[in-house]
Amino acid sequence: MKRWLPTYTPYPKTPNTNRPVQTDEYLPAPETIMLGIQHVLAMFGATVLAPLLMGFDANLAILMSGICTILFFFMTKGRVPSYLGSSFAFIGVVATATMHATGSGANPNLGVALGGIIACGALYTLIGAVVMITGTAWIERLMPPVVTGAVVMIIGLNLAPITVSSVAGKPFELWTTLMTVLCMGLIAVFSRGFMQKLLLLMGLVLSYVIYAVLTNGLGMGTPIDFAVVGSASWVGLPTMTTPVFEMNAMLIIAPVAFILVAENLGHIKAVGAMTGQNLTPELGRAFVADGAATMLSGSVGGTGMTTYGENIGVMAVTRVYSTLVFVVAGFVAILLGLSPKFGAMIATIPTPVLTGASIVVFGLIVIAGAKIWIDNQVDFSDNKNLMVGAITLILGTGNFGLMIGDFDLGGIGTATLTAIILNQVLSRGR
């Protein structure tokens, strides 16, 4: 009988070994733990920012991201390296369905959003079941490398303006953002061994310390308020909310499932390209797992889940793809979600530091998408590929969002749909 989980083997660390750590290999426990922490930190945008913009409880979002990541690990048989977090694709539709102004505090109609999120998860699971039964050939035809590479790239490019806008027009914040980028760049290039693998975490810590010295120590900029950390309790359950199923909200939010399919497909293609493994057979199971995670999260008050681009960036730079790292990351997230004090500490990370980290991570996502094109030798002397790639990137980067009734596709959704349609139309008769 075939094992459900892989048989994990230790990574053969020798002076001459420079290949990536594969999905079924593992590093020593201290390194695995630190790498797991780094993935959690890289996901702050998904586990903190996205929920806050929609009016969700950030602590509950972190908690559910950890639980759902572990659920995803077991449902995909430990073969797909990924951390699940809140999809930014939900922000626009949740705002529309609940009439809640983005970023304006707690969402009073949260239950209505949760009903729509559960409906989205159910549709996503159904798509995954169809893929498991019928195979992935039709998805491969719909989304060849020229499309998937572009989809991965626009995830990073689309989020870039949102990230940069948080420090725009603020000289001190702009300079400290660049300081964070520089710290991560220096660690990435000049450090060696495990330190290099933890460049995001180490860069974040170093930038945090420098920022604290400049503000709390030298009186420059906005100081870090450590009082909120001292007043927060060590252990506590986040507030949970019961879903409310309203048909209009469900019709608005459920189609996000198609965007999640594109995100997950892009994620798996990118990871497959980086590891040299064919992960395409795992697509259906990954869709089902992600859909189940979304339904579970929505049932208690959490956000919709997706495999996240930040992980691609972290894996691209660390070259560690062991799925055990994500189990550790899941448990770290659960601990954070159950501790208001840890949540308060996370909240003290200055915006410029988070912005700098986001610039690095989103940039790495873009490069991961470009790598799909390179590894699959996409021919841009072919005008079909040229048009698909060029138009998709501009639509996604410019956040060109189409409205279908009350449903806002958003920049990523519009660009993804356009890429698929353009590729099919321009391939006719060829």
Residue 82: left if φ>0, alpha if ψ -120 to 50, beta else—which one? beta
Round to whole Å and give the CA distance between 415 and 409. 9
Round to whole Å and give the CA distance between 187 and 20. 19
326 phi/psi in degrees, rounded to 5: -80, -25
pLDDT at 120 over 60: yes
Dig out the tokens for 13 from the structure.
């660390």
pLDDT at 16 over 60: no
Within 10 Å of residue 369's Cβ, how many Cβ atoms?
27
Q: How long a stretch of residues is the chain? A: 430
Most confident region among 32-46, 202-216, 347-361, 380-394 by mean pLDDT: 380-394
* Least confident residue range of 36-45, 146-155, 238-247: 36-45
* pLDDT tens-digit series, residues 273-329: 777 777 888 888 999 999 999 999 999 988 888 876 566 767 777 788 888 888 999
pLDDT at 104 over 60: no
Q: What are the angstrom distances between the C-alpha of 363 and each of 314, 369, 410, 416?
A: 11, 10, 20, 19
Average pLDDT over residues 68-91: 85
pLDDT reported for residue 410: 67
- Answer for the pair 111, 388: CB distance below 8 angstroms, yes or no: no
pLDDT reported for residue 334: 92
pLDDT reported for residue 193: 64
Round to whole Å and give the CA distance between 261 and 271. 15
**DSSP summary character for residue 282:** G
Dig out the tokens for 217 from the structure.
């120590």
Taking the model in full, what pTM does it have? 0.72
Q: Where are the alpha helices (DSSP H) in 217-304?
A: 227-231, 247-253, 256-275, 283-300
What H or E segment, with its residue span, contains residue 150?
Answer: helix 145-165
- Answer for the pair 105, 55: CB distance below 8 angstroms, yes or no: yes
pLDDT reported for residue 69: 92
pLDDT reported for residue 185: 87
Q: What are the angstrom distances between the C-alpha of 151 and each of 133, 240, 310, 391?
A: 25, 34, 14, 11
Higher pLDDT, residue 400 or 392: 392
Q: Specify which residues 397 forms β-bridges with.
A: none
Q: What do you get for the CA distance between the two ends of the chain, in Å?
A: 45
pLDDT reported for residue 156: 74
Work out the mean pLDDT of the chain and round it to a whole number: 81
Round to whole Å and give the CA distance between 258 and 398. 20
- Reduce the DSSP state of residue 240 to 3 states and report it: coil
Give the strand pairing for 84-86 and 305-307: antiparallel
- Reduce the DSSP state of residue 285 to 3 states and report it: helix
pLDDT at 125 over 90: yes
CA quadruple 419, 424, 428, 430: dihedral positive or negative?
A: positive
- Answer for the pair 54, 94: CB distance below 8 angstroms, yes or no: yes
Most confident region among 117-131, 220-234, 348-362, 371-385 by mean pLDDT: 117-131
- Where do we find the tokens 């997950």? 264
pLDDT at 422 over 80: yes
C-alpha 365: how far from chain center? 10
Q: Among 292, 383, 247, 285, which residue's Cα sits nearest to residue 76?
A: 285
**193 burial class (0-12, 13-18, 19+ CB within 10 angstroms)?**
exposed
- Answer for the pair 115, 97: CB distance below 8 angstroms, yes or no: no
pLDDT at 397 over 60: yes
Dig out the tokens for 154 from the structure.
């626009």
- Answer for the pair 136, 307: CB distance below 8 angstroms, yes or no: no
Round to whole Å and give the CA distance between 111 and 104. 17
Q: Residue 264: pLDDT band by 50, 70, 90 thresholds?
A: confident
DSSP 333-357: HHHHHT-HHHHHHHHTS-HHHHHHH
Round to whole Å and give the CA distance between 12 and 8. 12
Q: Among 299, 309, 302, 293, which residue's Cα sits nearest to residue 125?
A: 293
Round to whole Å and give the CA distance between 256 and 303. 13
pLDDT at 71 over 90: yes
Dig out the tokens for 97 from the structure.
């369905």
* pLDDT tens-digit series, residues 22-32: 888 888 888 88
pLDDT at 234 over 80: yes
pLDDT reported for residue 129: 93
* pLDDT tens-digit series, residues 316-363: 777 888 888 889 999 999 988 888 887 777 777 787 887 787 788 778
* pLDDT tens-digit series, residues 354-379: 778 778 877 877 887 888 888 888 88
Higher pLDDT, residue 80 or 404: 80
Name the percent of the chain lying above pLDDT 90: 13
CA quadruple 295, 296, 302, 308: dihedral positive or negative?
A: negative
Q: Residue 68: pLDDT band by 50, 70, 90 thresholds?
A: very high
* pLDDT tens-digit series, residues 139-194: 778 778 888 788 778 877 876 776 677 777 788 888 988 888 898 888 888 877 65
Dig out the tokens for 100 from the structure.
């809640």
pLDDT reported for residue 40: 82
